[in-house]
Structure 1
Amino acid sequence: MTVVAPGASAARPQLIREINEKVLLDHIRRSGPISRTELAGLTGLSKPTVSAALGSLERTGLVHVTGQRTGVPGPAASLYEVRPDAGYVLGLDVGREYLRGAISDLAGTVRARLSVRTKAGDAMARIQELADLSTTLATETGIDVTQLSQTVLGSPGVYDPRLDALTLTGRLSGWDSPATLAALRDRFGTSLMIENDVDAAAIAERVHGHGRNVDSFAFVSVGTGIGMGLVLDGKLRHGSHGVAGEIGYLPFTEGSGSDQRDARKRGGFDASASAAAVVRAARRAGVRGASTAEKVFAAAARGDAVAAAVVAEEALLVAKAVCTVITVVDPELVVLGGGIGQAPGFLEAVSQQLHRMAPVMPDVKASVLGRESVVAGCLAAGLDRSWQMLVGRVGAQG
């Protein structure tokens, strides 16, 4: 005997309407502009059901008619798409030297973008600069910060729930203090979401770069710091403790560029293969003008044999790390990012080493997304979260 709770029969049609609206909204987001007939064909819903659901979505301000399709048999069909101004997403990238940010509308169009050199001497000053940057971007977009449906901050480190703080934050002084996270929440409110910066770059790679249509890939960033974003079965993986991809802690400390203090604080591989390590190794080897890793690579490209040896050692270390990833998760693709990872000739040097040591050889490519990749990934993550929230409200508003 089936027992129906009081009011269940009345609630059932409402639940069905809510499900239909969510399904249509998802299709419009992914395939719009799109007609009622096309939506009916994609979803299997009847045209009257589609019309009723579209009317509800129009009343809630989530979709609108954007035009008509002509040139086909029959009357012109109205085309529906997401209302771009139904929400806005703020993406921020917090670095040691630069703060970058952008605002996109709900359709994914970037409305404003800005990069500034930070002058902050501590965590609280950096948070104030992030808030100022956000206000400037909102003003350029023509909105108030209260209209932001989601804010995503790409930051070094991982969240530790036991401490309620970010940990493994690398070279950002004071960023691992619980007071920092509390201040970020106070500034940006409940819409704040924090994503590891390299993971954010991996999201950007999946949405805009070589990772499109690839189910499993590793994004390996080598630059000021070292990290990895890992996408398996189409999903970004964080691991049980949030440290999946923290390859800076691989126990690779050999090489003339290693620094034991850095190794203890930031990991052995980071100490041996980050940009600072390349500079240290080049100076010890006697490379002139080795003030940055970029200059070391430039010297190697000009034919400086000593600089070339430093670059070769760097390629060997990175190849060892990538080989480790290959043997553990066997990705279809490895993407090299960061200032060193994208340096001219570095991809070829790493690939040559991998051919010697790896049991299998995945595709290995250099990212083409550049310095805005973290912000792009934050925007993509924020759009997904915003849609989840908006879809969740459809039934309540309907």
Structure 2
Amino acid sequence: MTQDKTGWHAGHLAVLHALNIAKHASRAEIAQTTGLSPQSMTRIGQELIASGHIVEVRRRHTGGMGQPAIELGLVPGRILSLGLVLEHDRITCVLSDLVDGVIRRIEQEGDFLLAARSADASEALVAEALRHIPIDATLLGLGVSQSGFFFDKTARRVVRRGDIEGWMQLDLDVRLSERFGLDVIVENDGRAAAAGHLVHGVGSEYGSFFVVLMTRGVGGGAVIDRQLLRGRMGNAGEFAMLLPRSGNVRPSTESLADCLGLSVDSELAEAAIRSRAPGMNAWLNENAAYLERALLSVCALIDPEAIVFAGRLPLSIRAALAERIRLSGVSIGNISAPLPPIIVDTAADCLEIGAASLPVARLFAGLGRRR
């Protein structure tokens, strides 16, 4: 079997992937999930235990006859990744553990519309984060989440609001890779959010889902059979293109501020929802109608098992939007196809989790669910 930079071959990756999904599982269960033979599973399990990446967690007492099964689990702090989130008002770098998620977070606030300023701040934050990597940890790489769209498939350069020419000239992945010797993966923020749910979110329950990202703008990302859908240039999932281009009413923090004068962290938003304030009610109804039409297209095109509402838009507002949406599926006569549930992500740091999940998603690429 061929090995990657970590020294793991396909069998190692299959076992690690299975435990990332199941959290705890017996050798027999992992063998059944991965298709490994019992002999291969025993050998691979011993190798990963010896390297300190998995551990025997506990014996499972079922009350039946025979020897209780021993459950295996991933060891916290041994498989790490870095995530970098570039936003217009702040840049955040996180250190994430495959078991526990984000374990360290550092950020710099400011005006980061200019590419050069963003690149300099990014380097400083990554350098600081690398100081906290344990010697015995396996660092998978650095994932970068940024808004905009890719126009250069090879260099992964983006077009972004605020400094179009500057961003078009910036090869951020090359710059960070050469500076720190890391594998760097750059993705649009919508696909980064989808990667986060693939590794740490709803992806453990659903193999195919669509994420609607509601931040300063509106984005999207799709996972199909546990694989991040990128498309030809890396621009798959551009959900905003399905929304009306005219007007400033959108399910975004920018629209929330412009239309209603409410900030992302404002408790006034939840109060306005509870009191059924006319302005808030009209804004929610209009956005729910936009989202409903756009999501019908998503359902028809990719048939997801679930739809996730994520982002910096307040949780109460995303929940209120989800409650107002009524999807309809493909139907003939009185028979209709089942519809995907809309799941409201409760995490406030989906982009940070997503960026750090990009190296993990690439590591496990091709290891879809067995049917």
TM-score (normalizing by structure 1): 0.68
C-alpha distance in 2 between matches for 1:94 and 1:81? 33
1:128-170 C-alpha deviation (Å, 9 max, x unpaired): 22222223323344559x9743111112234333573433434
What is residue 349 of structure 2 aligned with on the other side?
372
C-alpha distance in 2 between matches for 1:107 and 1:339? 24
What is residue 244 of structure 2 aligned with on the other side?
252
C-alpha distance in 2 between matches for 1:363 and 1:156? 27
Coordinate RMSD, CA, aligned: 4.4
Seen in structure 2, the aligned counterparts of structure 1 residues 119 and 354 have a Cα distance that, compared at 3 Å, is: same
1:224-261 C-alpha deviation (Å, 9 max, x unpaired): 11111112233221222322211222361355x26xxx
C-alpha distance in 1 between matches for 2:269 and 2:71? 55
Say whether 1:93 aligns with 2:93: no
What is residue 354 of structure 1 aligned with on the other side?
326
What is residue 253 of structure 2 aligned with on the other side?
275
1:167-200 C-alpha deviation (Å, 9 max, x unpaired): 3434576663223434344334451111222112
C-alpha distance in 2 between matches for 1:38 and 1:303? 50
Aligned partner of residue 339 in structure 1, secondary structure: coil
- Residues 88 and 106 of structure 1 are in contact (CA less than 8 Å); yes or no, is this contact kept in structure 2? yes
Seen in structure 2, the aligned counterparts of structure 1 residues 387 and 325 have a Cα distance that, compared at 3 Å, is: closer
Seen in structure 2, the aligned counterparts of structure 1 residues 66 and 292 have a Cα distance that, compared at 3 Å, is: closer
Residue identity opposite 2:193 in structure 1: A
1:315-351 C-alpha deviation (Å, 9 max, x unpaired): 22222222222233332322112233x5425544454
Aligned partner of residue 349 in structure 2, secondary structure: helix
Residue identity opposite 2:37 in structure 1: G
Match of 1:151 among 142, 149, 153: 142
What is residue 308 of structure 2 aligned with on the other side?
335
What is residue 5 of structure 2 aligned with on the other side?
none
- Residues 95 and 172 of structure 1 are in contact (CA less than 8 Å); yes or no, is this contact kept in structure 2? no
C-alpha distance in 1 between matches for 2:269 and 2:184? 39
Residue identity opposite 1:27 in structure 2: V
C-alpha distance in 2 between matches for 1:386 and 1:362? 31
What is residue 117 of structure 2 aligned with on the other side?
125
1:251-278 C-alpha deviation (Å, 9 max, x unpaired): 61355x26xxxxxxxxxxxxx5533334
Seen in structure 2, the aligned counterparts of structure 1 residues 219 and 384 have a Cα distance that, compared at 3 Å, is: closer
What is residue 236 of structure 1 aligned with on the other side?
228
C-alpha distance in 1 between matches for 2:278 and 2:57? 63
Moved more, 90-99 or 205-214: 205-214
Match of 1:23 among 8, 11, 17: 11
1:192-271 equivalences under 5 Å are 192-250=184-242, 252-255=244-247, 257=248
Residue identity opposite 2:126 in structure 1: S
1:299-310 equivalences under 5 Å are 299-310=272-283
1:88-136 C-alpha deviation (Å, 9 max, x unpaired): 3111222112222322356566442334424546222222222222233
What is residue 178 of structure 2 aligned with on the other side?
186
1:257-306 C-alpha deviation (Å, 9 max, x unpaired): 26xxxxxxxxxxxxx55333344344xxxxxxx25375566435434323
1:3-41 C-alpha deviation (Å, 9 max, x unpaired): xxxxxxxxxxx88xxxx9642563266348888898889
Shift of 1:76: 11
What is residue 369 of structure 2 aligned with on the other side?
none
C-alpha distance in 2 between matches for 1:228 and 1:277? 17
C-alpha distance in 2 between matches for 1:322 and 1:315? 10
Seen in structure 2, the aligned counterparts of structure 1 residues 154 and 188 have a Cα distance that, compared at 3 Å, is: farther
Seen in structure 2, the aligned counterparts of structure 1 residues 140 and 240 have a Cα distance that, compared at 3 Å, is: closer
In structure 1, the gaps of 5 or more residues are 1-13, 259-271, 283-289, 389-398
Match of 2:298 among 325, 348, 365: 325
Give 1 or 2: higher helix fraction.
1
Residue identity opposite 2:142 in structure 1: T
What is residue 37 of structure 2 aligned with on the other side?
44
- Residues 88 and 111 of structure 2 are in contact (CA less than 8 Å); yes or no, is this contact kept in structure 1? no
Shift of 1:381: 2.8
1:29-67 C-alpha deviation (Å, 9 max, x unpaired): 634888889888984354xx77776776678x4657768
C-alpha distance in 1 between matches for 2:43 and 2:200? 35
Seen in structure 2, the aligned counterparts of structure 1 residues 338 and 384 have a Cα distance that, compared at 3 Å, is: closer
Percentage of matched positions with identical amino acids: 21
Match of 2:286 among 297, 308, 313: 313
- Residues 36 and 79 of structure 1 are in contact (CA less than 8 Å); yes or no, is this contact kept in structure 2? yes
Aligned partner of residue 228 in structure 2, secondary structure: strand
C-alpha distance in 2 between matches for 1:310 and 1:195? 30
C-alpha distance in 1 between matches for 2:242 and 2:69? 58
Aligned partner of residue 344 in structure 1, secondary structure: helix
Shift of 1:314: 2.2
Match of 2:151 among 152, 160, 181: 160
Aligned partner of residue 309 in structure 2, secondary structure: strand
C-alpha distance in 2 between matches for 1:148 and 1:166? 24
C-alpha distance in 1 between matches for 2:318 and 2:28? 51
Aligned partner of residue 91 in structure 1, secondary structure: strand
In structure 2, the gaps of 5 or more residues are 3-7, 366-371
Aligned partner of residue 164 in structure 1, secondary structure: coil
